[in-house]
């Protein structure tokens, strides 16, 4: 996740001070990725050095507010305009574990797949419980985040089914 661009995205609406940035970031992303205030200040100083934000006149210290510059807006537009490419894929522990288990003859892959299936399904059930409790209109970011997590868990389950089926075919 790009913290600098996330902060620019929030500043594109209106200026804010460090703590306000932290809370607005967390609000917009349903609290799933907590930021600490120290991280926010360090990032703001880097953005200032690169000419993407400027401190506003007036109070300094903790109440110091920041605004986005024209260069900042350009950088932000570029980010929003560029599709996310997960290629090469980020390191994924489950894929690695299963591939290594297939390679290691002594390991029972089916057992790993079955345990994982139960764990992933239970995670999916927990997300669904959260979604049930959420109001999709008032809590849109939270609902969208849960949708994403649920569909990732779904993809994982379908992949585990495929692993199992392919291993069974190989075993014949």
Q: Tell me: does residue 9 bind another protein (CB under 8 A).
A: no
Size of the site for another protein (CB under 8 A): 37
Three-state secondary-structure class, residue 136: coil
Query: Is residue 78 a contact residue for another protein (CB under 8 A)?
Result: no
* Residues of this chain, 28-67, that bind another protein according to CB under 8 A: 30-34
Task: Between 68 and 109, name the residue whose CB sits nearer to another protein.
Answer: 109
**172 is a contact residue toward another protein (CB under 8 A):** no
Q: Is 8 in the site for another protein (CB under 8 A)?
A: no
Grouping H, G, I as helix, E, B as strand and the rest as coil, residue 30 is coil
Interface with another protein, residue 112, by CB under 8 A: no
Q: Does 94 bind another protein (CB under 8 A)?
A: no
- Per the CB < 8 A criterion, the answer to whether 117 and 109 are in contact is no
User: Residue 13 and residue 146: Cα distance in Å, rounded?
Assistant: 25
Q: Is 90 a binder of another protein (CB under 8 A)? A: no
Residue with structure tokens 């079955």?
114
Residue that is written with structure tokens 């900042």 in the block: 72
Site for another protein in 118-137 (CB under 8 A): 118, 121-130, 132-134
Apex 87 CA angle, 105 and 74, nearest 5:
160
Q: Is 160 exposed, middle or buried (0-12, 13-18, 19+ CB in 10 A)?
A: buried
Residue ranges in contact with another protein by CB under 8 A: 26-27, 30-34, 114, 117-118, 121-130, 132-134, 139, 141-142, 145-146, 149-151, 153-154, 157-158, 161, 165
């Amino acid at each position: 996740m790009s913290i600098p661009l996330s902060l620019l995205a929030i500043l594109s609406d209106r200026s804010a001070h460090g703590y306000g940035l932290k809370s607005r970031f967390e609000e917009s992303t349903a609290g799933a990725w907590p930021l600490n205030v120290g991280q926010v200040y360090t990032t703001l100083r880097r953005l200032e050095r690169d000419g993407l934000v400027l401190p506003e006149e007036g109070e300094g210290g903790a109440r110091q507010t920041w605004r986005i510059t024209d260069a900042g807006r350009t950088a932000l537009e570029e980010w929003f305009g560029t599709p996310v490419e997960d290629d090469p894929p980020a390191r994924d522990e489950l894929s690695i574990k299963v591939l290594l288990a297939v390679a290691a003859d002594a390991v029972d892959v089916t057992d790993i797949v079955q345990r994982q299936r139960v764990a992933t399904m239970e995670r999916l059930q927990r997300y669904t419980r959260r979604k049930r409790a959420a109001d999709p209109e008032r809590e849109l970011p939270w609902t969208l985040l849960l949708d994403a997590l649920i569909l990732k868990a779904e993809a994982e389950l379908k992949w585990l089914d495929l692993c199992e089926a392919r291993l069974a075919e190989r075993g014949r």
